[in-house]
Structure 1
Amino acid sequence: MLESLRGYGAEVRLLLCTTFVLTLARAITLPYLVVYLSEHFALGISAIGLMIGGALIVGSLLSLYGGYLIDTLRSYTVIVFSTLAFALAFFVAVASRQLGMLFACLVVINLTLAVVDIAAKAGFCALLPVQARGEVFSIKYTLSNVAYAVGPFVGVALVLLDDRLPFVLSALLGLGMCLSYQRRGERAARAGLGGPTLGLLAVGRHLLGDRRLVYFTLGGALSAVVFGQFTAYLSQYLVTTTSAFQANQTVSYLVATNAITVIALQYAIGRRIGSRQLMPWLLAGMLLFVIGLLGFSLAQTLWVWCLAMLVFTLGEIIVIPAEYMFIDSIAPEHLRGVYYGAQNLSNLGAALGPVLCGFALAHLMPTAMFYLMMLSVGLAGLFYCLGARRQA
């Protein structure tokens, strides 16, 4: 992977660095947000869930407009202002004493991170030939997982000194990336070639009229139900069927298995995903999800849990870059930003996953949760097939 990184141009490496640093900044703070909200604002668990989930949903919806801006303005301008807003949101969040202001900051953090992510994807497509994009998408996803593996450990060390320090460091990382991109970014770069000639409402009608995009977005949302927040619904299941202590212990091993598998295998597998065989790759990923979920439903020992997570993670490794490649294959050059913004709506599925699983655990037998997840995988595969048929 390092050899491939050296082979890319400076602008591609800078985009990868920018998304990595911002993801690291978010990962430093995110795990301790629940504790912070509980201690400083005396919120209950349900209220905290609504606040964090609501901020993610609002940020995901607004990112569609962010994609429109990426197609309309210079990528340089959008990324510089987004990284600056990202940093300022962390500074304001740590100083805020009003819950409404903190919620607005969380929305801005989610939104700006999504906008930079969209700008990076569109930038890769503008800077690289089609055959090289699968590899760079895999590198980007690997770096994101490295950030999520390292960030919480950095946050632990800072929380021991002061629980505001993770926010401060995240803000400084965002500010540092803003200054770095302002100095080194390519000012003439534009993700969309010439920008959209249509207004926002007309672009929205175009998106809704593209059945391929609608099917892929629905498929992405349904697959995100399964892998978007798997730690949340696995924790819910384990707390229901075992003790809280055993649940925490098992989930920690599962998170470690997921992170190690992604970091070790994402690049090796993802770089082999080509644009001509996307549907077989996606169906293979769906099958691995189903096998992993079946393993979870039958697991009685830690080894079986970890083995099922290994298979499940292989599905994740395949599906995420393949989804990027599908959107890349159908997006018009001048509308790449809004197309990737539409794909970002799959976060709505990630937010829905724990809700569906909570309902299943409350009203059905616990293992039924996994069968609902398998149904979601099957529906996702159906929508992917419909989109691929439309493309053909």
Structure 2
Amino acid sequence: MLASLKRYPPAVNLLLLTTFVLTLARAITLPYLVVYLADNFQLAVSQIGLLIGGALMLASLLSLYGGHLVDTLRNHTLVISATLLFALAFGVAIASRSALLFFVCLVLINLALAVVDIAAKTGFCALLPVEERAEVFAIKYTLSNIGYAIGPLLGVALIELDDQLPFLVSAAIGLGMCLCYARLGDRQLRASSPGQTGAGFGQVALRLARDRRLVCFTLGGVLSAVVFGQFTAYLSQYLVVTASPAEAARLVGYLVTTNAVTVIALQYLIGRRISRQRLMPWLLAGMGLFIAGLLGFSLADSALAWCLAMLVFTLGEIIVIPAEYMFIDLIAPEHLRGVYYGAQNLSNLGAALGPVIVGFALGQWVPVAAFYLLVLSVILAAVFYYLGTQKR
């Protein structure tokens, strides 16, 4: 991976650094967000879930327009604006005394992160030849997981010093990255040439809706995100029902560690081998590993069994996410890459649905039925992926 980073143009490495730093800044506040909302706004757990999940869903919808901005504005202008918005939203969140204002700040934080993510992906496509894109997508995803592994640990340490410090540090990191990109970013980089970006957002949205392959693949992404988007949330729900709270907390800790170590160790090695020519076989392999992992969860009766099932499950995640990036790269017209990647972000809607579906299953049927519902979601996702990879 280091050899590849040395070979890339400076603009690619700066985009990788930007997405990593902002992911790290976002992850710093994750351990304390629920507690902060409960302590400062006296919200019930159900209300907190709606606030956090609603902010993610609204930001995902708005990122479709964010992708359109990526296609129409210079990369330099957009990344600076998004990182500045990221920093300001964290600053306002600290000062807010209203749950509604805090919700708006969360939406802006998630939206800014999504826009920078889209700008980075389109930047990679503009700066690198086709054969090198799978590798850079794998590197980006590896760095994001490193950020999510390190960030919460930093957040916990900062909370010990002051309960607002995680937000202040995240704001400072965002502002620092904004200044860095303003100075070092490529001012000429664009997702497409200026002459190609005349269509308004309404026309572009209509074109997206008519692209059968994109619609099928987006539906597949939503259904697969139901399974891997917030797996820690629904596994916690399941374990709280089937084990003691202490045992559930212990097992979830093991599973999160197993997932993080597996992704960091294997993402680059596997992701760089995914080719545009064999996307469907790779996707089917990923879906098969998801199903095997879910069935492993349904049968697990020890910490070792849970961790082995998580390892298999994570291998599916390692394959599916870069393959989704590659498919969008394959079908997106050059002047609409940003909005196509914005459409891919709609898979976050599926991530928000995962805990809801599992909660319903746990309340209505025997607990293990939740995993069978998730297996069904994987199968349906595979069907839509297959339809999406078929030409007319």
Give the TM-score range, shorter chain: over 0.9
Provide the C-alpha distance between the structure 2 equivalents of 1:178 and 1:131, rounded to a whole number of angstroms: 30
Residue 390 of structure 1 and its aligned partner are, at CA, apart by: 2.6
For residues 221-250 of structure 1, what are the alpha-carbon distances to aligned partners after superposition, in whole Å with 9 as ceiling and x for unaligned? 000000000000000000000111100000
Where does structure 2 lack aligned partners over 5 or more consecutive residues? none
Query: Partner of 1:132 in structure 2?
Result: 132
Determine if the alignment matches structure 1 residue 56 to structure 2 residue 61: no
For residues 341-387 of structure 1, what are the alpha-carbon distances to aligned partners after superposition, in whole Å with 9 as ceiling and x for unaligned? 00000000000000000000000110000000000000000000001
Residue 43 of structure 1 and its aligned partner are, at CA, apart by: 0.7
Provide the C-alpha distance between the structure 2 equivalents of 1:160 and 1:145, rounded to a whole number of angstroms: 24
Size of the aligned set, in residue pairs, is: 391
Residue 196 of structure 1 and its aligned partner are, at CA, apart by: 2.3
Answer yes or no: is the 8 Å Cα contact 1:211–1:390 preserved in 2. Answer: no
Residue 31 of structure 1 and its aligned partner are, at CA, apart by: 2.0
Provide the C-alpha distance between the structure 1 equivalents of 2:285 and 2:363, rounded to a whole number of angstroms: 32
Determine if the alignment matches structure 1 residue 107 to structure 2 residue 107: yes
Between the aligned residues of both structures, percent identity stands at 69
Query: Partner of 1:78 in structure 2?
Result: 78
Answer yes or no: is the 8 Å Cα contact 1:70–1:192 preserved in 2. Answer: no
Matches within 5 A, 1:332-351: 332-351=333-352
Provide the C-alpha distance between the structure 1 equivalents of 2:57 and 2:273, rounded to a whole number of angstroms: 32
Matches within 5 A, 1:200-239: 200-239=201-240
Q: Which runs of 4+ in 1 moved over 3 A?
A: none
What code does the residue aligned with 1:346 have? Answer: S
Query: Partner of 1:372 in structure 2?
Result: 373
Provide the C-alpha distance between the structure 2 equivalents of 1:130 and 1:79, rounded to a whole number of angstroms: 23
Aligned-pair RMSD on alpha carbons? 0.7
Where does structure 1 lack aligned partners over 5 or more consecutive residues? none
Answer yes or no: is the 8 Å Cα contact 2:29–2:167 preserved in 1. Answer: yes
Answer yes or no: is the 8 Å Cα contact 2:37–2:43 preserved in 1. Answer: yes
Q: Which moved more, 1:192-201 or 1:34-43?
A: 192-201
SS in 1 for 2:29: helix
Query: Partner of 1:360 in structure 2?
Result: 361
Residue 389 of structure 1 and its aligned partner are, at CA, apart by: 1.0
Residue 4 of structure 1 and its aligned partner are, at CA, apart by: 1.1
Residue 197 of structure 1 and its aligned partner are, at CA, apart by: 2.1
What code does the residue aligned with 2:275 have? Answer: G
Query: Partner of 2:304 in structure 1?
Result: 303
Query: Partner of 2:46 in structure 1?
Result: 46
Query: Partner of 1:249 in structure 2?
Result: 250
Query: Partner of 1:261 in structure 2?
Result: 262
Provide the C-alpha distance between the structure 2 equivalents of 1:105 and 1:319, rounded to a whole number of angstroms: 31
Residue 142 of structure 1 and its aligned partner are, at CA, apart by: 0.2
Provide the C-alpha distance between the structure 2 equivalents of 1:259 and 1:337, rounded to a whole number of angstroms: 28
Provide the C-alpha distance between the structure 2 equivalents of 1:101 and 1:287, rounded to a whole number of angstroms: 43
Residue 198 of structure 1 and its aligned partner are, at CA, apart by: 1.2
What code does the residue aligned with 1:176 have? Answer: G
What code does the residue aligned with 1:353 have? Answer: G
Provide the C-alpha distance between the structure 1 equivalents of 2:297 and 2:383, rounded to a whole number of angstroms: 23
Provide the C-alpha distance between the structure 1 equivalents of 2:149 and 2:201, rounded to a whole number of angstroms: 38
| TM-score in terms of structure 2 length | 0.99
Determine if the alignment matches structure 1 residue 276 to structure 2 residue 277: yes
Residue 302 of structure 1 and its aligned partner are, at CA, apart by: 0.4
For residues 43-98 of structure 1, what are the alpha-carbon distances to aligned partners after superposition, in whole Å with 9 as ceiling and x for unaligned? 11000000000000010000000000010111111100000000000000011111
Query: Partner of 2:2 in structure 1?
Result: 2
Residue 99 of structure 1 and its aligned partner are, at CA, apart by: 1.2
Provide the C-alpha distance between the structure 2 equivalents of 1:75 and 1:208, rounded to a whole number of angstroms: 25
Matches within 5 A, 1:163-182: 163-182=163-182
Determine if the alignment matches structure 1 residue 26 to structure 2 residue 26: yes
Query: Partner of 1:37 in structure 2?
Result: 37
SS in 1 for 2:308: helix
Provide the C-alpha distance between the structure 1 equivalents of 2:216 and 2:329, rounded to a whole number of angstroms: 14
Residue 193 of structure 1 and its aligned partner are, at CA, apart by: 2.8
What code does the residue aligned with 1:4 have? Answer: S
SS in 1 for 2:161: coil
Provide the C-alpha distance between the structure 1 equivalents of 2:170 and 2:303, rounded to a whole number of angstroms: 35
Answer yes or no: is the 8 Å Cα contact 1:293–1:308 preserved in 2. Answer: yes
Residue 304 of structure 1 and its aligned partner are, at CA, apart by: 0.3
What code does the residue aligned with 2:51 have? Answer: M
Query: Partner of 1:291 in structure 2?
Result: 292
What code does the residue aligned with 1:323 have? Answer: E
